[in-house]
Structure 1
Amino acid sequence: MWREGKIEVENRTIHYWIKSFDLGSPYGIDEGRISKLMFKRDGQIIANFDRGWDIEPIDANAQAALEIFMKKYN
Protein backbone atom coordinates (compact mmCIF):
# COMPACT_ATOMS: atom_id res chain seq x y z
CA MET A 1 0.00 0.00 0.00
CA TRP A 2 1.30 3.45 -0.93
CA ARG A 3 1.24 6.24 1.62
CA GLU A 4 2.20 9.88 1.17
CA GLY A 5 2.27 12.73 3.60
CA LYS A 6 4.33 15.02 5.80
CA ILE A 7 5.85 14.44 9.21
CA GLU A 8 7.55 16.78 11.64
CA VAL A 9 10.86 15.38 12.92
CA GLU A 10 13.00 17.49 15.21
CA ASN A 11 11.10 20.64 14.13
CA ARG A 12 11.76 19.96 10.43
CA THR A 13 9.10 18.98 7.89
CA ILE A 14 9.79 15.87 5.83
CA HIS A 15 7.58 14.90 2.90
CA TYR A 16 7.43 11.13 2.52
CA TRP A 17 6.29 8.45 0.10
CA ILE A 18 6.32 4.87 1.33
CA LYS A 19 5.19 1.52 -0.06
CA SER A 20 4.72 -1.31 2.42
CA PHE A 21 3.20 -4.75 2.31
CA ASP A 22 1.53 -7.09 4.81
CA LEU A 23 4.50 -9.48 4.81
CA GLY A 24 8.26 -8.99 4.82
CA SER A 25 10.36 -9.58 1.72
CA PRO A 26 14.02 -9.96 0.75
CA TYR A 27 13.48 -6.70 -1.16
CA GLY A 28 12.33 -4.76 1.90
CA ILE A 29 14.42 -2.69 4.30
CA ASP A 30 16.09 -5.27 6.57
CA GLU A 31 13.91 -7.86 4.77
CA GLY A 32 10.84 -6.17 6.21
CA ARG A 33 7.59 -4.82 4.79
CA ILE A 34 8.86 -1.48 3.41
CA SER A 35 9.92 -1.96 -0.21
CA LYS A 36 10.02 1.68 -1.34
CA LEU A 37 10.58 4.87 0.59
CA MET A 38 11.51 8.45 -0.26
CA PHE A 39 12.03 11.38 2.09
CA LYS A 40 12.33 14.97 0.88
CA ARG A 41 13.13 18.03 2.95
CA ASP A 42 13.17 21.52 1.45
CA GLY A 43 12.93 19.95 -2.02
CA GLN A 44 16.03 17.76 -1.52
CA ILE A 45 15.90 13.98 -1.39
CA ILE A 46 17.35 13.00 1.98
CA ALA A 47 16.70 9.23 1.77
CA ASN A 48 15.58 6.89 -1.00
CA PHE A 49 15.04 3.13 -0.90
CA ASP A 50 13.74 1.23 -3.93
CA ARG A 51 14.35 -2.46 -3.16
CA GLY A 52 17.80 -1.30 -2.06
CA TRP A 53 19.34 1.94 -0.85
CA ASP A 54 19.84 4.53 -3.59
CA ILE A 55 20.42 7.29 -1.03
CA GLU A 56 20.87 6.27 2.60
CA PRO A 57 19.62 8.79 5.17
CA ILE A 58 21.95 11.76 4.77
CA ASP A 59 21.86 13.08 8.34
CA ALA A 60 20.53 12.49 11.86
CA ASN A 61 17.18 14.10 11.01
CA ALA A 62 16.62 11.72 8.08
CA GLN A 63 17.75 8.79 10.22
CA ALA A 64 15.26 9.77 12.95
CA ALA A 65 12.46 9.83 10.37
CA LEU A 66 13.51 6.39 9.11
CA GLU A 67 13.39 4.98 12.64
CA ILE A 68 9.83 6.27 13.05
CA PHE A 69 8.71 4.56 9.85
CA MET A 70 10.60 1.36 10.62
CA LYS A 71 8.69 1.02 13.90
CA LYS A 72 5.37 1.78 12.26
CA TYR A 73 5.55 -0.05 8.92
CA ASN A 74 8.43 -2.53 8.92
Structure 2
Amino acid sequence: MWSEGILTGPTTGNRYKYWVKHYEEPSETFGIDGGKISKLTIRKLNDSRDVVNYDRGWDVHCPDEYDVRAVYAAILEKYN
Protein backbone atom coordinates (compact mmCIF):
# COMPACT_ATOMS: atom_id res chain seq x y z
CA MET A 1 0.00 0.00 0.00
CA TRP A 2 1.21 3.52 -0.78
CA SER A 3 0.83 6.32 1.75
CA GLU A 4 2.01 9.92 1.72
CA GLY A 5 1.94 12.89 3.98
CA ILE A 6 3.68 15.99 5.29
CA LEU A 7 5.55 16.17 8.59
CA THR A 8 7.18 19.15 10.28
CA GLY A 9 10.73 19.05 11.61
CA PRO A 10 10.71 19.63 15.38
CA THR A 11 13.55 22.17 15.59
CA THR A 12 13.46 24.22 12.38
CA GLY A 13 9.80 23.96 11.46
CA ASN A 14 10.76 22.86 7.95
CA ARG A 15 8.08 20.74 6.32
CA TYR A 16 8.87 17.44 4.62
CA LYS A 17 6.73 15.51 2.13
CA TYR A 18 7.04 11.74 2.17
CA TRP A 19 5.90 8.80 0.09
CA VAL A 20 6.08 5.30 1.55
CA LYS A 21 5.25 1.86 0.18
CA HIS A 22 4.53 -0.51 3.05
CA TYR A 23 3.16 -3.98 3.52
CA GLU A 24 1.30 -5.82 6.27
CA GLU A 25 4.15 -8.30 6.76
CA PRO A 26 7.83 -7.39 7.29
CA SER A 27 10.54 -8.43 4.81
CA GLU A 28 14.07 -9.26 5.93
CA THR A 29 15.17 -8.94 2.29
CA PHE A 30 13.53 -5.71 1.13
CA GLY A 31 12.22 -3.86 4.20
CA ILE A 32 14.03 -1.07 6.01
CA ASP A 33 15.68 -2.78 9.00
CA GLY A 34 13.77 -5.95 8.04
CA GLY A 35 10.46 -4.13 8.42
CA LYS A 36 7.36 -3.41 6.37
CA ILE A 37 8.62 -0.38 4.36
CA SER A 38 10.04 -1.33 0.96
CA LYS A 39 10.14 2.16 -0.57
CA LEU A 40 10.49 5.57 1.07
CA THR A 41 11.16 9.04 -0.28
CA ILE A 42 11.40 12.17 1.85
CA ARG A 43 11.79 15.67 0.36
CA LYS A 44 11.83 19.08 1.89
CA LEU A 45 8.55 20.72 0.85
CA ASN A 46 8.90 22.78 -2.34
CA ASP A 47 12.26 21.20 -3.14
CA SER A 48 12.86 18.54 -5.78
CA ARG A 49 15.90 17.00 -4.05
CA ASP A 50 15.39 13.78 -2.12
CA VAL A 51 16.83 13.95 1.40
CA VAL A 52 16.06 10.24 1.92
CA ASN A 53 15.40 7.56 -0.67
CA TYR A 54 15.05 3.84 -0.09
CA ASP A 55 13.92 1.55 -2.91
CA ARG A 56 14.53 -1.98 -1.60
CA GLY A 57 17.96 -0.65 -0.72
CA TRP A 58 19.48 2.74 0.11
CA ASP A 59 19.86 5.23 -2.75
CA VAL A 60 20.09 8.31 -0.50
CA HIS A 61 20.84 7.56 3.16
CA CYS A 62 19.19 9.56 5.90
CA PRO A 63 21.50 12.47 6.78
CA ASP A 64 22.62 13.33 10.30
CA GLU A 65 20.46 16.48 10.25
CA TYR A 66 18.23 16.29 13.35
CA ASP A 67 14.97 17.37 11.69
CA VAL A 68 15.26 14.83 8.88
CA ARG A 69 16.17 12.10 11.38
CA ALA A 70 13.11 12.98 13.47
CA VAL A 71 10.81 12.86 10.42
CA TYR A 72 12.38 9.56 9.33
CA ALA A 73 11.92 8.10 12.83
CA ALA A 74 8.25 9.16 12.90
CA ILE A 75 7.63 7.46 9.55
CA LEU A 76 9.33 4.26 10.71
CA GLU A 77 7.33 4.26 13.92
CA LYS A 78 4.05 4.60 12.00
CA TYR A 79 4.65 2.26 9.03
CA ASN A 80 7.54 -0.09 9.76
TM-score for both structures, normalised by structure 1: 0.92
Determine which structure has the larger strand proportion and give its number: 1
Work out the CA distance in 1 between the residues paired with 2:51 and 2:62. Answer: 6
Question: Which of 28, 38, 50 pairs up with 1:35?
Answer: 38
Work out the CA distance in 2 between the residues paired with 1:27 and 1:60. Answer: 26
The offset of 1:12, in angstroms, is 1.2
* 2:51 aligned partner: 46
Q: Which consecutive segments of 4 or more residues in structure 1 shift more than 6 A? A: none
Largest Rg, 1 or 2: 2
* 1:3 aligned partner: 3
The offset of 1:35, in angstroms, is 0.4
Tell me which amino acid in the other structure corresponds to 1:31: G
> How many residues are paired up?
74
Which of 27-36 and 50-59 deviates more? 50-59
Work out the CA distance in 1 between the residues paired with 2:56 and 2:68. Answer: 18
TM-score for both structures, normalised by structure 2: 0.85
The offset of 1:63, in angstroms, is 1.2
- For structure 2, which runs of at least 5 residues remain unmatched after alignment? none
Residues 14-37 of structure 1 deviation map (CA, whole Å, 9 limit, x = unaligned): 010000000001200001000000
- Answering whether residue 77 of structure 2 is matched by residue 71 of structure 1, we say yes
The offset of 1:62, in angstroms, is 1.3
- Overall identity of the aligned pairs, in %: 35
* 2:16 aligned partner: 14
- Answering whether residue 76 of structure 2 is matched by residue 60 of structure 1, we say no
